[in-house]
Structure 1
Amino acid sequence: MSKICQITGKKAMIGNNVSHSKRRTKRTFDANLFTKKFYYVEQDCWISLKISAAGLRLINKVGLDAALNSAVNKGYCAWKEIKVIG
C-alpha cells in the first residue's frame, strides 16, 4: 500500500509539467503522506498508519475508531493491513 492514504484513500495523480513553451511532459502529483503512530484505545495497543494531512485532520475531527471503521467500510484499508506496534 505505498503512496495511498489508509484513512481517506488519497493516492498519486498523474498530470503534466508545462514549460514556458507549452511543451507537456508527464509527471505525478503525490499525496502528502507520512507515517504516524496512534494509541488505539479500543484495542489497548499502538498502531502505525500511513496517512495524509487530510486524514490526520479527519482523525482529529471524528476520532480514531470512527475514522478506521469508515475507512474499512469504504474499502481504503483492511483490518489486517493496519500495523500493530505493541
Structure 2
Amino acid sequence: MSRICDLTGKATMVGNRVSHSNVKTKRRFYPNLHLKRFYIPEEDRWITLKVSTSAIKTINKIGITEAINRFVEKGSI
C-alpha cells in the first residue's frame, strides 16, 4: 500500500538528516496517515479511506460529503 492520502494527495517527502558534524544523509518524511471508516448518509454506506490527520480535521469540520466534493473539485482525487 502506498503512503498517499486518498483525499489530499499528501505523499512522502525526501530530505536530509543532518548530524552534529553536518554530515547529510538522505531520509524520508512520512505523512501522518490513518485508515478510517466514514459513513455516507446520502448513499447509506460506509467507505474506508487512508487519510491524513489534516484531512480528518477537515472532514470533522465540514462533513465527509462536502470534503469529498471539495477535493474532487480541487483535483487532488
Query: Scaled by the length of structure 2, what TM-score is found?
Result: 0.91
| Cα pair 1:7 1:51 within 8 Å, conserved | yes
Q: Which residue of 1 aligns with 2:25?
A: 25
Displacement of 1:30 in angstroms is 0.4
Displacement of 1:11 in angstroms is 1.2
Confirm whether residue 46 of structure 1 aligns to residue 77 of structure 2.
no
Give the Cα separation in 1 of the matches to 2:58 and 2:39: 16
Give me the CA root mean square deviation: 1.2
What per-residue deviation string (whole Å, max 9, x for no partner) do you get for residues 3-32 of structure 1?
Answer: 111222211111100011100011110000
Displacement of 1:76 in angstroms is 2.2
List 4+ stretches of structure 1 deviating above 4 A. none
- Structure 1 spans left out of the alignment, 5+ residues: 78-86
Count of residue pairs brought into register by the alignment: 77
- Structure 2 spans left out of the alignment, 5+ residues: none
Amino-acid identity (%): 51
